[in-house]
Amino acid sequence: MPRISFITPLDQPSGSKRLLDILRTGLKDPHFNQLRIVTAYAKSGPLLRLKSDIETWLASGNSLCAILGIDQQGTSKEALTIAADLCKELYITRENGITFHPKIYLFDGPKHAKIIIGSNNLTVGGTETNFESSVILDLVLPDDDSIYTDLDTMWNKLLPHSCVATKAFEQKLLDELVANGAVLSELDKQARAKLTGNYPAAPRTGLIRKPASPLPISIMKSPKSNATAIMGQPQSSQQVVAGLIIQIKPHHNGEIFLSKIAVLQNPSFFGWPFKGSTIPKKVGNPAYPQRTPDPVVNINVYGSTTTPTLTLSNYKLNMVYYSTKEEIRITASPLVSQVPEYSIMVMMHGNSVGIDYEISIYRPDSPQYTYWLVACNQSMPGGGKKARKFGWF
């Protein structure tokens, strides 16, 4: 009989059990030599977080195969491109009038198999932060051959020779799907969701939630030595980024220094390069590059309770690049009395028209603070009693 366990709806938000961790563990388990994935939606986030583990898995002679649905524009261009590089076999399936909606993850080897079947798509939400539920079956072969055979048959029936809706992945096919709007880039998907009001909002409930794991440092841009030259050049967007996590130290005048390293890693997140200029208060003082118009933000500050201690709605956030010191600063004077040093600021793209960013700030006394601190996987050089940290998710 198989060993049966579950991912229950509260497991992933709390961080007690997540599909991403189960997949990572399976990729390191010597009992398995193949992973097959069938999922309705796929995004770049889980694939980038697992990329190093998958590459090690493949280098050991193991294989990864996947069947991805593209209905409802749920699978992104980036996910298909990354999966094509990692998969021994990659298939896309779509049948007009029928939504492809299964979520199945199948590890197998000569004597063991593990199957996760449930609601988890191959997205950051599906693998880490959403309310999801799944059944996990651990099989020992040949004792559980009857169950394994049914799952293996399921996979084979979805392959192109048996299912006319499934096609082997080709770059030409992806180009056609992108051209006709069936597959979107993740930036385009976010932009459309924002226009329709269907963009995920910043957390405001009392539930204590563990954030998604940070994006690996290796996939972010490496900062160069000549910051001014690089920051003056438009760079390609980091479509995979949902938000920035950064420890902050508000100054008495309301200024908050951002990380120059973070800005260099992902200029587009901050709207860099800035097009406007400051107006010096004194004649003869230099003007500095300024983001214009000021980004409009919603800010919620969290302390010892799970409800905000301060809320600023539609706040105009001054954002300036002080080129002499190569620093980007934002100014929010109301935060000075409310936010102690080393609080964590979580900055996400706005979820409605007219809002550029949703900002949540977690003070050190917040129950969420430790979770967000763990997600800061990079350090800034120097700067006070201890180096500030930041990360991307």
Instruction: Over range 16-20, report the average pLDDT.
Output: 98
In whole angstroms, what is the distance from residue 353 CA to residue 355 CA?
Answer: 6
Domains (range + CATH), the chain: 3-184 (3.30.870.10), 217-392 (2.40.330)
Quick one: what percent of the chain has pLDDT higher than 90?
Answer: 78
At residue 43, what is the residue type? K
Where helices occur in 60-185 by DSSP H, the ranges are 77-86, 124, 145-158, 171-179
At residue 300, what is the residue type? N
In whole angstroms, what is the distance from residue 364 CA to residue 343 CA?
Answer: 6
Residues 147-201 have pLDDT tens digits of: 999 999 999 999 999 999 999 999 999 999 999 999 999 988 887 777 766 655 5
Per-residue model confidence (pLDDT) at position 325: 79
Higher per-residue confidence, 150 vs 220: 150
Token pair recorded at residue 322: 């002080």
42: Cβ contacts below 8 Å, ≥ 6 apart: 66, 68, 74, 75, 76, 79, 80, 83, 121, 122, 123
Angle of helix 44-59 relative to helix 19-27, nearest 10 degrees?
10
Instruction: Over range 281-309, report the average pLDDT.
Output: 93
Per-residue model confidence (pLDDT) at position 5: 98
Mean of the per-residue pLDDT values for the chain?
91
At residue 191, what is the residue type? A
Per-residue model confidence (pLDDT) at position 200: 57
Per-residue model confidence (pLDDT) at position 378: 95
Quick one: what percent of the chain has pLDDT higher than 70?
Answer: 91
Whether the per-residue pLDDT at 229 is higher than 50: the answer is: no
Task: Find the radius of gyration of the CA atoms of the chain.
Answer: 23
Query: In this structure, is the dihedral angle defined by the CA atoms of residues 315, 360, 216 and 51, taken in order, positive or negative?
Result: negative
- pLDDT confidence band for 228 (50 / 70 / 90): very low
In whole angstroms, what is the distance from residue 54 CA to residue 46 CA?
Answer: 11
Cα dihedral 282/283/286/291 (nearest 10): 70
- pLDDT confidence band for 233 (50 / 70 / 90): very low
Per-residue model confidence (pLDDT) at position 375: 94
Model pTM score: 0.89
- The separation between the first and the last C-alpha atoms of the chain, rounded to the nearest angstrom, is 40
- pLDDT confidence band for 285 (50 / 70 / 90): confident
Cα dihedral 150/153/154/160 (nearest 10): 180
- pLDDT confidence band for 386 (50 / 70 / 90): confident
318-322: strand order across its sheet: 255-257, 327-331, 318-322, 289-290, 276-277
Residues 360-377 have pLDDT tens digits of: 999 999 999 999 999 999
Q: Best-predicted range by mean pLDDT among 231-240, 321-330, 335-344?
A: 335-344
